[in-house]
Structure 1
Amino acid sequence: MKLMKNVQGWTEGVEVDHQALNQIRNIAGLPIVAGHVAIMPDVHLGKGATVGSVIPTRGAIIPAAVGVDIGCGMCAVRTDLKAADLPDHLAGVRSAIESLVPVGFSAHEKEVNPTHEAAHGRVLKQRMDVLYTRFEQLSILTVLGALDARKIWKQIGTLGGGNHFIELCLDEVGAVWVMLHSGSRNIGKTIGEAAIGMARDACVKAGVHLPDRDLAWLNEGTPEFHQYVEALQWAQDYAALNRDLMLFRVMRALRASLGREIGSTKEAINCHHNYATVEQHFGAKVWITRKGAVSAREGQLGIIPGSMGAKSYIVRGKGNPLSYCSCSHGAGRRHSRGMAKRLFDLDALAAQTAGVECRKDEGVLDEIPGAYKNIDAVMAAQADLVSVEHTLKQVLCVKG
């Protein structure tokens, strides 16, 4: 569906507010955009660029379009557990998970040693050692100033806050899945904010007029572009390892609370939905920035979560070229956090999360399912982007 000039959208049957439309118009009009902008059905207002957008650029990247939670994404695995294997009351399981995975502003007391995490610990340790070495070589460190490097390695394998979560879900045949959502923690935020500042300064220096200063970009070939891309790729890898480390800790918590060994199937997915990478589309190599969007190449598995009380989906991409082989990253917010707190109360939260073992207090009221778009409408709007492999319903949710 053509939303406006130079914009292709998958929004039939879902709301798109006028502020988001203005943002989309601003993005589509930038001289560095290399083709149409693709808009996913979960689209909503973001910082500079709309969440739920796929932006092709040539010779430049917009750091604010990638965002400050670089590499934020999803991880999911199907276990060999069935619904009948779970206890009737899951409070103990939630407590076990929360005791092993720090949430919110919390971090591990010591720097993480992945060899202690699982049978795959040696592989995880190798990945972390590579990350550690690459971090010390990042040229952007000269811009970031004083950093507590120990904090970076204490935060890996932690959830964070906001809309990040860990869930146990049941699929259509009662199989138990572990699913989680997190990103690159504070170091990704630090890199993102520094790059946004660098881009603003570069555009001011070049005399570039911007409709929104958060749409400032860095030009390929400049030292600032190199610094950002190097750090961007590092942060994306940090985010992926962060999710894998949490996954193994959740499995460890399940083993401890259920008193049995737990295996996983080959159906495991780890995908970003806030990132940028070079891809080939319409015969040209371009930078593709997915801000709240998931790669959905033909046959590729992805994850589209709902909210705390709604369904989620494991999907397989159809490789639709018009979407730059992408799909939505979730349901997408219908109301801002402030508006959600004004519209809903704790009774509504309890009702909308009935049957889910989770927090039901003021601290998560802004994450109430009613603050999000209808996931069924979002999925219907992108039927030509993905097919559904599994439908998941959460029975336990840990929020930051």
Structure 2
Amino acid sequence: MGNKLRGKDLIKLGFPKNNSINVTLSQVNRYQKKIKKEHILTEAKKVLLDPEAYQGDSVWGKIAESLLKPVEVKKQVLKTIRSPFHIYGENEIEEQAKYQLFDSLKLPVAVAGALMPDAHTGYGMPIGGVLATKNAVIPYGVGVDIGCRMCLTIYPIKISYLKGKKHQLVNILSEHTKFGMYETHKIKHDHEIFERDEFKTIPLVKKLKDKAYKQLGTSGGGNHFVEFGVVNITDIDNEWKLPTGEYIGVLSHSGSRGLGANIAKHYTYLATKQCPLPKHVQQLAWLDLNTHDGQEYWLAMNLAGDYAQACHDDIHARIAKLLGSKPVAKIENHHNFAWKQEVNGEECIVHRKGATPAAKGELGIIPGSMTAPGFIVRGLGNIKSLQSASHGAGRLHSRRKCKEKFTQSEIKKELKTHEVTLIGGGIDEAPMAYKNIEKVMANQQELVETIGTFTPKIVRMDK
């Protein structure tokens, strides 16, 4: 008896000669490489005799599913008519982004969609795209950076501190925020997130726990940032009962780091295998939420979203301690995620890939660029937008185009004009890379109301 499990070993046990053999070999090869063959065969026999008892099990659940109700792999055909949709600020959005939305609206599982005024072309779904589906989740509809989010804390500190203590504030961001793939904090903080069951029961996630622990409280590369700036509260009836006027604020933008990226990659692969689509829309492959993989992705996605929040909590706690002040208000929101939400009277999965949740009364923060204000907003619960708003100003120029179009001296001049100090940051994140945030906000007045602004003054990004 060889050490490697083979299909004929499973047939000898009594496995049917169907896809359950491939599923079993795949699962064992992925998650039980170090387990002895005799032990695997003993467990496999138990699953074969009573697959119901193993439904939902982290390793054997998928095998049980293949024995009870195999996932049907059939070539999907797009609908000829698009599901209902609404586009905001249509004249400001490139055609390719619209076509990406139109393709997603032809998916058999699509119910409704919307395109936000900051939209631009992405992978699969456009950035700024919102899509409601029936009992299906699209990993690329959530995005690679699961739970990418904004977090703003407001401090009862006079804004003169930004100039008077500028050196100390620059030092706080330089020394106590970490960016990119390799920077981590010397002193690691623990967090209750690491006690979550998903880190014990989902094999892929279990492998990623150490990486997630090391990266807690850090930010990614690209357009992720931590900033000091001026908060201007303009709404007298604000939720925190703060007097209107100016305060110091800390704004961060980042997601779920390596944890989310690996979850996205793994389940996107599974989705493409289970849901063959025409080549031009293959990145819109979905997982049925009634399947083992669909349920597992949903749990992993929610964990990644909560982990992203934990990262922001850690960033802001470190800065608050160094400032010697407690925040008087906190506003935060995801913009790469999927939610269960009622649409047209039925529960759907609403994907927001670069879009802010904007249910009635829901608070959020929509950033501009490093030289343009961000907006603190309250959702108006617009049904046509699937209760969503933009997630920022949106890119006007691609990263490649920025490198061709702008120079460091142009960026320095722009920063000087707006009295912004930049630590790190590349040409691809030039302020001029982004759309006019004032125009974007004007195009979504029926989606959100403004209750304040945040104007960046000291910005830290990846080098």
Shorter chain as denominator, the TM-score bin is 0.7 to 0.9
Pairing of 1:286-305 with structure 2 (within 5 A):
286-305=348-367
- Residue 190 (structure 1) aligned with residue 262 (structure 2): yes
- Cα distance in 1 for residues equivalent to 2:84 and 2:293: 28
Could you report, residue by residue, the CA deviation over 1:300-333 in whole angstroms, capped at 9, with x for unpaired residues?
A: 1100000111111100111111111111100000
Q: Which residue of 1 aligns with 2:92?
A: 15
- Cα distance in 1 for residues equivalent to 2:185 and 2:430: 31
Contact 2:132 2:343 in 1 (8 A): no
Could you report, residue by residue, the CA deviation over 1:127-164 in whole angstroms, capped at 9, with x for unpaired residues?
A: 33433x4312225449xxxx464222010110111000
Which of the numbers 305, 308, 313 marks the counterpart of 1:244? 313
Contact 2:224 2:461 in 1 (8 A): yes
SS in 2 for 1:81: coil
Contact 2:142 2:338 in 1 (8 A): yes
Q: Which residue of 1 aligns with 2:110?
A: 33
Q: Which residue of 1 aligns with 2:325?
A: 262
- Cα distance in 1 for residues equivalent to 2:83 and 2:168: 53
Q: Which residue of 1 aligns with 2:253?
A: 181
1:113–1:324 Cα change, 3 Å: same
1:17–1:268 Cα change, 3 Å: same
Contact 1:168 1:179 in 2 (8 A): yes
- Cα distance in 2 for residues equivalent to 1:387 and 1:202: 42
- Cα distance in 2 for residues equivalent to 1:32 and 1:140: 27
RMSD: 1.9
- Cα distance in 2 for residues equivalent to 1:141 and 1:243: 20
Of structures 1 and 2, the one scoring higher in RCO (CA 8 A, sep 6+) is: 1
Contact 1:302 1:315 in 2 (8 A): yes
Q: Which residue of 1 aligns with 2:434?
A: 372
- Residue 281 (structure 1) aligned with residue 357 (structure 2): no
Pairing of 1:1-400 with structure 2 (within 5 A):
6-12=84-90, 15-34=92-111, 36-88=112-164, 90-108=166-184, 112-114=188-190, 125=191, 127-131=192-196, 133-141=197-205, 147=207, 149-172=209-232, 173-204=245-276, 208-209=277-278, 211-253=280-322, 255=323, 261-265=324-328, 267-354=329-416, 355-359=419-423, 363-400=425-462
Q: CA deviation at 1:108?
A: 2.6
Q: CA deviation at 1:263?
A: 2.4
Alignment-mate amino acid for residue 212 of structure 2: I
Q: Which runs of 5+ in 1 are unaligned?
A: 115-124, 256-260
Larger radius of gyration: 2
How many pairs does the alignment contain? 367
- Cα distance in 2 for residues equivalent to 1:5 and 1:221: 23
SS in 1 for 2:330: strand
1:357–1:222 Cα change, 3 Å: same
Contact 2:402 2:427 in 1 (8 A): yes
Q: Which runs of 5+ in 2 are unaligned?
A: 1-81, 233-244
- Cα distance in 1 for residues equivalent to 2:147 and 2:410: 32
Alignment-mate amino acid for residue 315 of structure 2: M
